Amino acid sequence: MSDNPASTPDPSGVTRTETGEIKTQSQTTAPAATTAQTSTTTEKPSLVNQDDRSLANQTPPAPGPGAPETYATWSTPEGWQMDEKVDVEAKELFKAMNISQADGQRLVDFYIKHTSASQNAPFEAWNTMQEEWVKQVKADPQLGPRLNEVKTTISRAIDSMGDPTLASQFREAMDYTGAGNNPAFIRTFYKLAQMITEGKHVAGNGPSAASQRTPGQTTSAAGAMYPNLPRA
């Protein structure tokens, strides 16, 4: 005999066990298989340009104003003037490329920016060198502590040449070239200036014997010219 009593069908359609008990739904009905639901909605792909129209169907942007009949004067920084030949060549080139006034100004601004940087580089290097020389002079143990005396002595030596025009030109040359800040130049010129401006004491040895004569005594012309000539 089977351990599981067979189910007995009921006229009402209810399934019962052999003992007459109604079987539960879980005992009679298998779970329904779950089927994956597929969406029937298709999402429209977005275009890179965020335009509903395709690239071939899009209207191209309107062209710019293009080159003017005659270019106006370019705007430049204060104190900066464009070379006349460069200006003419630039306008001819812009005209051939159909560049507008506004775009031409942008190119001119670019040119000025980098040209100014190239032109200023040597002057910036020169100024840096001058500043370094001044620091070296002030830090020099011989020149630094007596710098005022050094400058005064050099100035006196320049004035002692007796030519005001030459002295002025020499001072301008020192400033223009920057030599007046060079430690070696200052050290050398200071030593030379000391030799010129600092005089030495001259000791006297008394009057010359040849110049002495007895009051009332006259000296001949030959005697005055040749005081050491033996006399007969």
- Show pLDDT as tens, one digit a residue, over the chain (232 residues): 445 555 555 555 556 666 666 665 555 555 555 555 555 555 555 555 556 788 788 777 666 678 898 999 999 988 888 889 999 999 999 999 999 999 999 999 999 988 888 888 888 999 999 999 999 999 999 999 999 999 999 999 999 988 999 999 999 999 999 999 999 999 999 999 998 876 555 555 655 555 556 666 666 666 666 666 666 5
d(CA 39, CA 153): 102
Amino acid, single-letter form, for residue 195: M
Where does residue 115 rank: exposed (0-12), middle (13-18), buried (19+ CB within 10 A)?
middle
pLDDT of residue 48: 55
- Where exactly are the structural domains of the chain? 63-125, 140-197
**Amino acid 19: pLDDT:** 67
Q: How far is CA 78 from CA 82, 87, 90, 175, in A?
A: 11, 17, 20, 27
Helices (H), 67-182: 84-96, 101-139, 147-159, 164-177
Question: CA 154, 160, 161 angle in degrees (round to 5)?
Answer: 110
Report residue 103 as tokens.
Answer: 């775009």
**Residue/partner pairs of 131-140 with CB below 8 Å, 24 or more apart:** 133/178, 133/181, 133/182, 133/183, 134/181, 136/183, 137/181, 137/183, 137/186, 140/183, 140/187
Q: What is the pLDDT of residue 36?
A: 52
